[in-house]
Amino acid sequence: MSILVPGIAQESIVTIYNPNADAKADIQAAIKKAVAENKHVLIQIGGNWCPWCLKLHKLFNSEPVVDSLLQSDFVLIRVNYSKENKNLDILKELESPQRFGFPVLVVLDQKGKRIHTQDTGLLESSTGYDVAKVTEFLKGWSVKALNPEN
């Protein structure tokens, strides 16, 4: 039972991760799209229960430079980790990124090979995520950045 207190703003429940999603199918679809668009796949792993996961989602969608890099260089998908669905088979295939905590970011190349796992704690500042650090991470793991000719 919820109790509403007059004069106190009520937080809305944010659901960016879908515990019922077929993570394996989502990753395969993202890889196909990445090939077609010459991008990498960026997997954001976490859960709706995780405040830092929600903060990262907010930054991805509210910071123009970050959003622009995501749109131009990555196919972004979210993989749920919660008591309803831990997606342990996917995490095993991705070489256990959960060891860094949540959220955690995994970059796949166009063949579906994991090329980087990012501990998002390294992208934080004292008050949240650091836009410059996130921007540097995204720029450093784009297809263009990893092209030996550049």
Which is it for strands 40-46 and 74-80: parallel, antiparallel or unpaired? parallel
Identify the CA nearest to 35 among candidates 133, 144, 116, 112: 112
- Determine the Cα–Cα distance for residues 86 and 47; give it in Å rounded to an integer: 9
pLDDT digit string, tens, across residues 93-105: 999 999 999 999 9
Identify the CA nearest to 135 among candidates 84, 67, 87: 67
DSSP state of 4: P
CB 102 within 8 A of CB 46: yes
Would the pTM of this model clear 0.85, i.e. be above it?
yes
List the domain boundaries for the chain.
Answer: 23-145
Residue with more model confidence, 142 or 10 = 142
Cβ-based neighbour number of residue 135 at 10 Å: 16
pLDDT digit string, tens, across residues 26-50: 999 999 999 999 999 999 999 999 9
**Record: fold of 23-145:** Glutaredoxin (3.40.30)
